[in-house]
Structure 1
């Protein structure tokens, strides 16, 4: 995997700010932490003082709110590490708003998205090893709930999007490992992931492939029965045609042992059978 220096800003979990020498910059006051999180959440766009006031104090801002915001911004400017954007301060201001300047390599959530995209490109270009490394880089920056300092009503949609992308990256990583024939490596991962995401059919399809090709045909058949009952009970549907296709291959013995030819095309061992490149989605999902 690519070496990763200390990231100035981490929001995939509790807010963390790091100096270039690696030590953590303490930002103890909750309102300052929330303000910085909101500016990071805005991704370089201007955030109005009205928006800041409503997020920091909900529906009951004090009369001194605007003055307090100016003080928080002044303090943050002194506390934050210098940026990679030459000539610009970390926090810019204009009448009625603020924005934070950060390069794409300085914020964990942006690094996650970039590594996920490059991993998909590498896999579909046939560079399995590079894809595995990049997917690993993407997943490695996660520490917890995105934008943990902000109210749920502010982050709900973005958090759901990031969780979905993270699940897709797990699935893409597993497909890349299946492409390399590493069935024994991915099977423990799939046992855990199908517990975390029990309604993602792509994971169940990968489970069937990995279990069968690693010599656990009975576990593959049991996994299909589990998926069938979960989908029926929770969503009122039967497994998709794709999952039924893989199940039929298991029943027919077509996936027994590690018989996939060396150099199989991307996807030949995973969801989609190597046909069309899947979109960034994992099938039916339990998150709402």
Structure 2
């Protein structure tokens, strides 16, 4: 099985393409179980997630019905029985290594960092690209923001770290020309992330585009001043001075 939660919830079996779970409440329940994969999720938390305000008296029975629907959906995709188990007042979903895209993302980032540590830069690029390629949207976007925010914040930070490490290792490999378009797009989308500007200046300068690099510094200066009310930090200023001195 494959469970995709880095975006809207999708399932797929060995011989099936992505399948969306319908209707809304079973879909939300599965997303909640996957948010807490391998851990017990109480009926109380399920009820608070599925219903706004006080849940109906029929909530425990409704939850059992939704779980049965999910089990049938999983079985139709060729999954083995016992994926979702229950005990008094709680449910749990089990996932094997490689089945949940969140875990695959974290593992690919870890492998990329290990490869960098071994100076296997080409291998690191592949792992970081594989990790970032799993993202299709907001993590666990089928769940209320208040519920998913802590996990989402951690995953987003790891995603940014993977992006920056991928760019860094591509610069180490001398891919200065090919990384510039990606950096242009990222600095437009995220104009106050100073490290992106540092990468862009380096890539442009190492590509022999000194004038473009100096222009990029001015763009960074304006973006940081208007977006955050600050001037460029020490690293960005140092790069700028190096480029001014490089005649």
TM over 0.5: yes
Normalising by structure 1, what TM-score? 0.81
CA distance in structure 2 between the aligned counterparts of 1:224 and 1:83, rounded to whole angstroms? 54
Residues 1:106 and 2:99 are matched in the alignment: yes
Shifted more, 158-167 versus 133-142: the winner is 158-167
CA distance in structure 1 between the aligned counterparts of 2:110 and 2:182, rounded to whole angstroms? 21
Listed one character per residue, the Cα deviations across residues 123-170 of structure 1 (whole Å, up to 9, x for unaligned) are 132110000000010011111111111111111222222222212211
CA shift for structure 1 position 119: 0.6
Residues 1:191 and 2:184 are matched in the alignment: yes
Residues 1:90 and 2:87 are matched in the alignment: no
Q: Give the aligned partner of residue 136 of structure 1.
A: 129
CA distance in structure 2 between the aligned counterparts of 1:68 and 1:42, rounded to whole angstroms? 20
Normalising by structure 2, what TM-score? 0.93
**3-state SS, counterpart of residue 208 of structure 1:** helix
Does the 8 Å CA contact 2:9/2:20 hold for their aligned counterparts? no
Q: Give the aligned partner of residue 23 of structure 2.
A: 29
CA distance in structure 1 between the aligned counterparts of 2:153 and 2:218, rounded to whole angstroms? 28
Superposition map of 1:1-288 within 5 A? 8-80=2-74, 81=77, 89-253=82-246
Two-structure CA RMSD over aligned residues (Å): 1.7
**3-state SS, counterpart of residue 53 of structure 2:** coil
Higher share in helix:
2
Give the number of aligned pairs: 245
Q: Which runs of 5+ in 1 are unaligned?
A: 1-6, 255-288
**3-state SS, counterpart of residue 30 of structure 2:** helix
**3-state SS, counterpart of residue 98 of structure 1:** strand
Q: Give the aligned partner of residue 260 of structure 1.
A: none
Q: Deviating runs (4+, > 4 A) in structure 1?
A: 81-84
